[in-house]
Structure 1
């Protein structure tokens, strides 16, 4: 529809012969009624205009038109929409000039658009999906992440020997070495399996887990025994069980069997009395073996579809695509390892436990951020409002995660007998490492995993080469990731699904 000069007909009409019926867009004779919903007659049937009764003023035809078309005009996004409706209703420019005193349908449409307040309907809420996981599911995964921490309580005698390397209790180094290896391997393996699931091939995902999970368990066990010093064989054996559990848990979590994993971890609840009483060694070992055996058996059962011949199919995602995720696992694992080097058990291994347990709430907060950003993408109308809202949501989610991390650290301090309170410097370093981990996971969720991996690896390398520069390296990494996050996630296009 193009603008017309005042007085120009609404359409190009051909002359009609006498007696020919008028078209929908042609002027009507005075007094002719319009179709239902059409314009009101200009004059009375006898050709004379009605006069007001008594002192009452005649109703303004434009007010009547506003009342009749208010519902449509309120949701219009441009005056031309209203002009199109007027013309489709049979209003000609002559009729508009005589009845409403406007030049044409465009001028009348602009007047109606200005008179009626905008009331656009709210967009429909987006349907469920990977980023709209309910609170119950996230809390279940958080509980599954937290329960393995009780295994460290049962294995406390393995860490209660003479101080070993780096001032840590004997056995801590092989335990952390095996854990870091498991994080690296299982991070890359999870990405590959999730890629198969995204392609709709669940048997192929099971096949990838069937071949990758045992290899990861063997790698973690080998690294743990290689890092063990003389006299640390019991801790290395526990690290081997830890590697086997990480492999089984990866299988169950990737395939969506959180409830099965929760049931397998129930024997670890027997560690709760160990906070007050000294449990016998055989009972501790039995509880650990029961949880480990149940996890491995359940993982083997869910992997049966992957054992079928040809389940993996042909082609598939390139293995190199999972490499950045493994590098991110390596960088984040080394940062956690650096947090485990402290003067006391809580400031060392206790910090590792706190960071590990915090991953459950971290995942839930990632979902909260993603869900909040999608909601604002649907409801806000300007890029400036969106940037401000997303930045506020980011600050709230990150602050919530750091609050959880501090709470877990203090809880570990209170639960561990004879543990000293962490110093302000150690606590600040722990919070900086937590910031790096959460922002790195957030960038990974939005596809910027390589940037997060590089930053984490550089920070870990700086801490390894110069341990005294640990707080500065963690702070620099947190600042860089914060800038990358703000640059990437304040753009509405980064949140499209």
Structure 2
């Protein structure tokens, strides 16, 4: 066959014709041992090439054009070109042989087409012909908990900016003190806020569950149905809790409920920048710390921020309004209930701090807290690949846990001191108040960590029990309640999250 090479297997002499190596047109013919000219085919395949006779030439390829010096195409060259990528990455000829056999090449086909005895011989020739080129390994995909510090700080900022709305709305909430000696409007505002925390925490978990299943349209549909329902629930609870003369507070609580629903939509769908833009009108409250702003300006700034938040949320929910195939294996609604209860417990614990500067510091610290949660989980995954024994992993993970918790408490302390310095008219926080705030920070961060690993039921139970116990004990005993909750969550975290099995995806 044209283009075949010498056969090296002596057992094939009697079954296959001997096919000589191709010669270029115009090459010199070889002399036979007896002095004659060699034939184009036949002869002894094992005999050496005779000396060339410079006086005679023969044409060895009838498919060539007359007068050219081109060599006939070699099938092995074409095969090497076709398998170049696979052969270049092979570390042994047997890998190429496996590729040839998987391609359906039999030994008979190889002998007739390429002049080799079998696939292993052909693989060795291909391995020798193709230069080794081992591609660089692809970078591993980013872990789902990998995130940047800037994004988390942005989320912390959008958590804290709504606090300026209460500065703008303070004149509308003025009046005689309500029940329990609290300022006017406190009860309806707290009732609406707690209802929003519970509802939106559960709604966010359900939407995140759909996103985890890869169905963004179903997540948008869940938010489209759940967010307005949460706004209505918060408004209804606030109105029911409002007393005589507190209709201004009930109206403000209705706006608060609408904002919480819109913010949940934007945060779950990753639109933090849109939410930040919507909250920019609230920065007009900064002069209100020193000057008395007109009521019309205060109302306009509040309505501008609320309207922008609702409009942005409606725009990102458009995919949920389109008709589409509905998944049959969605997350169970009851699975989101523990997350709502966890939001209730942590919200009540924050409210019991009874210090505006501490509440602002806790709210601002949620951004760094989220980043440290991601750092802990990322470090756990890295040590799972690097360490070889469970004991080493537990020790390393415990050290990372201590560093992350200590880092969060340092950030919380710095934010608390900064907020106190910005309010020189307020009394400086004492050591006891700072200790109580740090204990609340421990409960919050460890509870969020357990929630991130799916152990939300234990975290919710501890937070709810601590919040309920604070209602029954006097103010002097509340730090002890929080300290006990922090200790229980610390033991629960160490028992569940420093094991290697907790970090396997």
**Alignment partner, residue 275 of structure 1:** 289
Given that residues 174 and 235 in structure 1 are in contact (C-alpha distance below 8 angstroms), is that contact kept between their aligned partners in structure 2? yes
Given that residues 143 and 378 in structure 2 are in contact (C-alpha distance below 8 angstroms), is that contact kept between their aligned partners in structure 1? no
Shift of 1:180: 1.2
**Alignment partner, residue 4 of structure 2:** none
Unaligned runs of 5+ in 1: 1-122, 341-346
**Alignment partner, residue 237 of structure 1:** 251
Shift of 1:128: 1.4
Question: Out of 394, 398, 407, which is 2:405 matched to?
Answer: 398
**Alignment partner, residue 352 of structure 1:** 359
Question: Out of 202, 221, 224, which is 1:210 matched to?
Answer: 224
Distance in 2, matches of 1:399 and 1:163, equals 40
**Alignment partner, residue 171 of structure 2:** 157
**Alignment partner, residue 489 of structure 1:** 497
| CA spacing shift, 1:126–1:440, aligned 2, 3 Å | farther
Shift of 1:298: 0.7
Q: Equivalent residues in 2 for 1:182-197 (5 A)? A: 182-197=196-211
Q: Equivalent residues in 2 for 1:416-495 (5 A)? A: 416=423, 418-468=425-475, 469-495=477-503
Distance in 1, matches of 2:261 and 2:148, equals 26
Moved over 6 A (4+): none
Shift of 1:158: 4.3
**Range with greater deviation from structure 2 (442-451 or 463-472):** 463-472
Number of equivalences: 370
Q: Deviations over 1:305-354 (max 9, x none)?
A: 111234644441111111111111111122122223xxxxxx2x443333
Given that residues 218 and 326 in structure 2 are in contact (C-alpha distance below 8 angstroms), is that contact kept between their aligned partners in structure 1? yes
Q: Deviations over 1:74-111 (max 9, x none)?
A: xxxxxxxxxxxxxxxxxxxxxxxxxxxxxxxxxxxxxx
Distance in 1, matches of 2:315 and 2:231, equals 17
Shift of 1:267: 1.2
Q: Deviations over 1:440-477 (max 9, x none)?
A: 11000001000101111111111122244321211111
Distance in 2, matches of 1:150 and 1:448, equals 34
**Alignment partner, residue 353 of structure 2:** 339
Given that residues 155 and 367 in structure 2 are in contact (C-alpha distance below 8 angstroms), is that contact kept between their aligned partners in structure 1? yes
Distance in 2, matches of 1:425 and 1:163, equals 28
Q: Secondary structure at the match of 1:339?
A: coil
Shift of 1:197: 0.9
Matched, 1:306 2:306: no
**Alignment partner, residue 413 of structure 1:** 420
Given that residues 173 and 248 in structure 2 are in contact (C-alpha distance below 8 angstroms), is that contact kept between their aligned partners in structure 1? no
Q: Secondary structure at the match of 2:251?
A: helix
Matched, 1:383 2:361: no
Unaligned runs of 5+ in 2: 1-136
Given that residues 345 and 460 in structure 2 are in contact (C-alpha distance below 8 angstroms), is that contact kept between their aligned partners in structure 1? yes
Instruction: Report which of the two structures shows the higher radius of gyration computed on alpha carbons.
Output: 2
User: TM-score when scaled to structure 1?
Assistant: 0.70
**Alignment partner, residue 296 of structure 1:** 310
